[in-house]
Structure 1
């Protein structure tokens, strides 16, 4: 019995020892050390953007331990914690808030395992304490940095550093809605691992550099909302993996590229609000994967029927408004079964508006206002009810809707009823016809007029009454 108890106690002791070892090991794992140089570099970097008041005193045992900094992520290399992600700005509710006076301290470039940096709404002062991105030291992050983002920093000014071109592992470069100026540096063309290039919402000027020959892995290219000019570079056709192309809201000009035909994987192309011209290129009909095609507000011109729209069977949004297009709306549009938005306003389109458009199963917005469409609208009441204000056909002088629609609340805004047109034609005949001939015909054929019948009826009635009176007097 004593031997059995001793055995049990031994087992319990071993269990306690093993559990202690596991817990101790866990503590060691959670409290893995961070080298002092790494921690000091991180703290100084954060103080440059937050303020010297911050010293990380509430962190235990270090920034990557049990109480980490919101926006800072770490990975372990050779038994030590190293910073891999640094997000500065109010991304989360408990993120560190940026200070009023900010600076890029050189300690940032000592974080040698840094993979991603982002700054969101940090540099916001548009007059005082404006900040530029320095050109120095970026080569120190060339071996690790994969993502670099500056979003909504209106006080971030100056040019894009040409030294960004040394970040050979960079996959994402996002400079969105900042106060950056100057031209796009051609050094960006060296980033042959780049998958996302977003430079939208800044004040960039000059031509789009011809840098795309080596950027064959690019998936997203967004240069919209700047002041870029010139023509599109032909090397855009090399971006055969591209999914999104947005150069809208610039001052670009020239013809649409024949090289668009090579962009077989493109799902969105937005070229609106530029100065493109030269007609619709046939290369558009080769872009089979397109889901959104927006070319509005460009004086491109040409005949809308020149494109085989049925080839673009994946289209969800098609906006060709204000493009000086001519011709009739092609029947091939009726084969776009996924189409939700069709914008054809403010062109020179003619012919009738086919009621078959209402058979498109997904269509929820149709705008054809400001054209020369004619004839009677023959859509059903259900169609007008479904579309509501998303159906626009005003400013088509010869377009009208049938009289029976007037009894419903679903009147197409800005379109006159066809009955009104008929009455107008009749009134024009009466007032502008041969007045003498009209009245002459009435006098010659009195039986055909209402007044003639009334006069004759009155005479016969009067004679009959006189006969009755005479008979009464004789009696």
Structure 2
């Protein structure tokens, strides 16, 4: 993944902030939170001491099994787990006065946390957890990392192996399903499409195979299937996820073209389809994503594909545009210069020809430009200030025909910064001093920081000029004084 000014950690923070505005909790790095909804329950504080209310017997047996599997067999001595509950279990009654388990929590978050502890070397999570239909929160902290096993529930970064169980589709009230960072294999079960209330689905960083199923999850906000071994096309059904904010299918083995239906996801903030084998042409339908901040399609070989000029007509909020290493041909569209928020632009590693559009001069927020390894020629349209701001983040090498127009302002040290020379016939208008000529002949070296080197060179030049001026004035005054004697 390239380093973006509107960085992906910052973008993920924005997505999580948007999610936090709804009643969905945010899963954090070493534990799991699951929140479905159970509207049939009495949604209010309960003491669990009612004389007539009792725990549902099937759910009580399931709790006993879960507790025993995590090394907490002492729970079996409690006759009614909701009436004699501990810190880490929460219950609510229904309208008939039957208690249902809505929350189970495990693991020592700190010395002050009284959740039941787990034995990480021997703890397992039995399928009995699926017999808790009213469960709203299932929380584990460092319970399974030392004992990888096939999983019967929703856990992230716990070292689990094997397939995703199809039975997860029975948890129809589930809001968050986060299984990333395990060793899960096999295809994604189509039963997940029954999770109609799901808001976040993260299966990234596993070894999942097969095709992405035709899911229908209209309330989904985040879909992350990156870093797997998924094959086949991107399903057109993703276009029905009208609430989707983040779509990350990067680093898989997906093929065929990007479906036009993705243009219907008007709420999208990030699209990352990089490092696949997707084919062209690029769909102009992506231009309808008016809320999009980052579009990352790099490392998809799309030979003989051009960049549509009207692709960017509606992307006024785009900050990061990454189209590198795609074998794109043709010219760079002028319309990219009409993206007022653009800060990062990567077009490197393609076969683009012609000149850099003069409209790029309007990209006043641009701070990183990579166009190296193309067939571009002509003058770079940026003003001197823009080039200083980008410094080494402006990469143009491998385009033998590019040059800097001195009409944009004399740019001392241009070769050291950008590996370019002045355009033919322009150098005479703005003579470069000896230091500038030296910099012009020096090829950029890895690790250099050209702005500081060039600025230092400019300061030295000004200092030498000042000393020469002082010397001339002093000599002149000395001559007057000498001959007046």
Q: Please, what TM-score do these two structures have when normalized by structure 2?
A: 0.65
- The 3-state SS of whatever aligns with 1:386 is helix
Distance change >3 Å, CA 258–CA 39, structure 1 → 2: closer
- Per the alignment, residue 450 of structure 2 pairs with none
2:394 and 2:342 map into 1 onto residues whose CA distance is: 14
- The 3-state SS of whatever aligns with 1:349 is strand
- The 3-state SS of whatever aligns with 1:86 is strand
- Per the alignment, residue 384 of structure 1 pairs with 387
Task: From 276, 281, 286, give the equivalent of 1:284.
Answer: 286
Distance change >3 Å, CA 395–CA 99, structure 1 → 2: same
- The 3-state SS of whatever aligns with 2:255 is strand
* Unaligned residue ranges in structure 2 (runs of 5+): 1-44, 428-485
Q: Does 1:84 align with 2:102?
A: yes
After TM superposition, give the deviation of residue 282 of structure 1 in Å. Answer: 2.3
Task: From 135, 138, 163, give the equivalent of 1:114.
Answer: 135
Please list every run of at least 4 consecutive aligned residues from structure 1 whose deviation after the TM superposition is greater than 3 angstroms: 28-44, 52-57, 62-67, 72-83, 87-98, 105-113, 118-122, 305-308, 400-408, 410-414, 418-423
- Per the alignment, residue 324 of structure 2 pairs with 321
Any residues of structure 2 matched to 1:8-407 within 5 Å, and which? 32=49, 42=63, 45-49=66-70, 51-52=71-72, 68-69=87-88, 73-75=90-92, 83-89=101-107, 94=113, 96=117, 98-105=119-126, 108-109=129-130, 111=132, 113-119=134-140, 121-125=142-146, 129-134=147-152, 149-154=154-159, 156-209=160-213, 211-212=214-215, 214-301=216-303, 302-354=305-357, 356-401=359-404, 407=412
2:247 and 2:388 map into 1 onto residues whose CA distance is: 35
- Aligned-pair RMSD on alpha carbons? 3.8
- Preserved contact between residue 405 and residue 426 of structure 2 (Cα < 8 Å): no
Distance change >3 Å, CA 278–CA 64, structure 1 → 2: farther
- The 3-state SS of whatever aligns with 2:345 is strand
- Per the alignment, residue 21 of structure 1 pairs with none
- Preserved contact between residue 169 and residue 191 of structure 1 (Cα < 8 Å): yes
- The 3-state SS of whatever aligns with 1:373 is strand
Distance change >3 Å, CA 278–CA 41, structure 1 → 2: closer
Distance change >3 Å, CA 261–CA 109, structure 1 → 2: closer
After TM superposition, give the deviation of residue 199 of structure 1 in Å. Answer: 1.5
1:401 and 1:115 map into 2 onto residues whose CA distance is: 62
After TM superposition, give the deviation of residue 347 of structure 1 in Å. Answer: 0.9
Distance change >3 Å, CA 76–CA 392, structure 1 → 2: farther
2:125 and 2:67 map into 1 onto residues whose CA distance is: 9
Question: C-alpha deviations, 1:23-48, integer Å up to 9, x for none?
Answer: xxxxx976847968778864652452
2:75 and 2:224 map into 1 onto residues whose CA distance is: 39
Question: C-alpha deviations, 1:122-180, integer Å up to 9, x for none?
Answer: 3324xxx431124xxxxxxxxxxxxx6311122x1111111222222223322211111
* Unaligned residue ranges in structure 1 (runs of 5+): 1-27, 135-147, 424-475
- Per the alignment, residue 459 of structure 1 pairs with none
- Preserved contact between residue 120 and residue 151 of structure 1 (Cα < 8 Å): no
1:91 and 1:358 map into 2 onto residues whose CA distance is: 53
Question: C-alpha deviations, 1:108-135, integer Å up to 9, x for none?
Answer: 456553212244553324xxx431124x
After TM superposition, give the deviation of residue 414 of structure 1 in Å. Answer: 5.2
1:220 and 1:322 map into 2 onto residues whose CA distance is: 27
- Preserved contact between residue 285 and residue 308 of structure 1 (Cα < 8 Å): yes
- Preserved contact between residue 102 and residue 131 of structure 1 (Cα < 8 Å): no
- Preserved contact between residue 46 and residue 92 of structure 2 (Cα < 8 Å): no
Deviates more, 1:343-352 or 1:168-177: 168-177
1:255 and 1:419 map into 2 onto residues whose CA distance is: 40
Flag the structure with higher helix content: 1
Q: Please, what TM-score do these two structures have when normalized by structure 1?
A: 0.67
- Per the alignment, residue 19 of structure 1 pairs with none
- The 3-state SS of whatever aligns with 2:250 is coil
Greater RCO (Cα-Cα under 8 Å, separation 6 or more):
2
Distance change >3 Å, CA 42–CA 412, structure 1 → 2: farther
Give the total of aligned pairs: 371
- The 3-state SS of whatever aligns with 1:189 is helix
Distance change >3 Å, CA 48–CA 260, structure 1 → 2: same
Task: From 418, 422, 430, give the equivalent of 1:418.
Answer: 422
Distance change >3 Å, CA 48–CA 234, structure 1 → 2: same
After TM superposition, give the deviation of residue 320 of structure 1 in Å. Answer: 0.8
Distance change >3 Å, CA 168–CA 52, structure 1 → 2: closer
1:392 and 1:56 map into 2 onto residues whose CA distance is: 66
- Preserved contact between residue 180 and residue 203 of structure 1 (Cα < 8 Å): yes
Question: C-alpha deviations, 1:205-248, integer Å up to 9, x for none?
Answer: 01112x23x43333322211100011122322333333322211
